[in-house]
Chains A and B, each alone.
Chain A
């Protein structure tokens, strides 16, 4: 019977390291990580932190593709590292970097402040059309009404779509895929009355027209949200409003 060491596979993980306080520029460091077929890339970097270099920084929580905190560039593609497996890269080296297009806080940890501000700006909650008392009971929705927004409500705020979006890379002010998908999720909810306020953002210079219909955001989305669809539906909404606002002014146009 072979020894454990004989069958132990070892993969090289190249990690982007950066400490803005001491480093002039990011650099990469290669670690040799023993792994088994059931190990994710996240477990690979956890191995590095536990056994090889405790200073390596990254975010994670759920390990089951639900919390959205473990997004990384893996061989140049935005992935959730907890659902991406080392075996799929072996025997080649796998390269792990912080998500593209975001400022790096440290190593694989990005600064998500800009995204959080965008999330707040879209008012991601139902704004009731009119005050409603408890006595009036719950809102009822038909399956069709649910269908309109359900897909867009699956977003876990992992920001992979932002790392995939070349237009966000060019201009970080662009409201971007996930925030637009969530904005749309509330706008098309039959219980919501906040559409007009949110549309000001859609139509603005930070709004949907930055998008050049690349579609990579929807490709990398681990939750099949299809943010590109939300962005492009809202280009039409914004364009219709742009030309028709003179015919039926609703106010709010600046």
Chain B
């Protein structure tokens, strides 16, 4: 046994990964359907459901803002973790660079989402 065991910081990334996975399982397919099929093809939903004024109102609402932020940020952290751990399967030895690229893009995406959502006000 190693004399001193260093506590792993993985729970942070693992928790974000888990939360993102849960959220994407719950909302992912529905969002793909709404934004990718229903609206463009005019199925089921009113044509202006995702119109600019409606979406603006949605994201200016406190809960709407939170929802959009959670969906963007947690999906990104989930994807970053998944991609990072799949890299070696496609022959890329995942080192610090890959770690920075994966989790870094999630971080950048999170910051941009937060900034954009805050800048459109309440």
Point out residues on A near B: beta carbons under 8 Å. Answer: 117, 120-121, 166, 170, 200-201, 203-207, 209, 212, 235, 238-239, 242-243, 253-254
- Could you tell me how many residues of chain B have their Cβ less than 8 Å away from some Cβ of chain A? 14
Determine which of A117, A170, A207, A212 lies in contact with B8 in the assembled complex, contact meaning CB atoms within 8 Å: A207
Within 8 A of A (CB), among B7-41: 7-8, 10-12, 14-15
Q: Which 9 A-B pairs have the closest CB atoms?
A: A209-B10, A204-B5, A242-B11, A121-B1, A239-B11, A205-B8, A212-B85, A205-B6, A200-B5
Closest chain-B Cβ to A12's Cβ sits at a distance in Å of 32
The closest CB in chain B to the CB of A245 belongs to B7
Q: Are A117 and B1 CB-contacts (below 8 A) given A239-B11, A242-B11?
A: yes
Cβ contact within 8 Å between A120 and B7: no
Query: Smallest Cβ distance from A69 to chain B, in angstroms?
Result: 24
Bound complex: CA A254 to CA B2 (Å): 14
Binding site for A on B (CB under 8 A): 1-2, 4-8, 10-12, 14-15, 85, 88
Question: What residues of chain A lie closer than 8 Å to B5, measured between beta carbons?
Answer: 200-201, 203-207, 254
| Contact sample, A vs B, 29 pairs, CB 8 Å cutoff | A120-B1, A121-B1, A166-B88, A170-B88, A200-B5, A200-B7, A201-B5, A203-B7, A203-B8, A204-B5, A204-B6, A205-B5, A205-B6, A205-B7, A207-B5, A207-B8, A209-B8, A209-B11, A212-B85, A238-B8, A239-B14, A239-B15, A242-B7, A242-B11, A242-B12, A253-B7, A254-B5, A254-B6, A254-B7
Whether A243 contacts B8 in the complex (CB less than 8 A), given A117-B1, A120-B1, comes out as: no
Least Cβ–Cβ distance between A34 and chain B, in angstroms: 41
Please, which residues of chain A bring their CB within 8 A of the CB of B11? 209, 238-239, 242-243
Q: How far is the CA of A145 from the CA of B85 in the complex (A)?
A: 36
B78 to chain A, nearest CB (A): 13
CA distance A30 to B7 in the complex (A): 48
A226 to chain B: closest CB distance in Å?
20
Q: Please name all residues of chain B whose beta carbon is closer than 8 Å to the beta carbon of A166 when the two chains form the complex.
A: 88
Give Cα A42 to B66, complex, Å: 61
Nearest neighbor of A170 in chain B, beta-carbon distance: B88
Residues of A within 8 A of B8 (CB): 203-205, 207, 209, 238
> Which A residue's beta carbon lies closest to that of B88?
A170
CB of B42, distance to nearest CB on chain A (Å): 40
Q: How far is the CA of A212 from the CA of B88 in the complex (A)?
A: 12
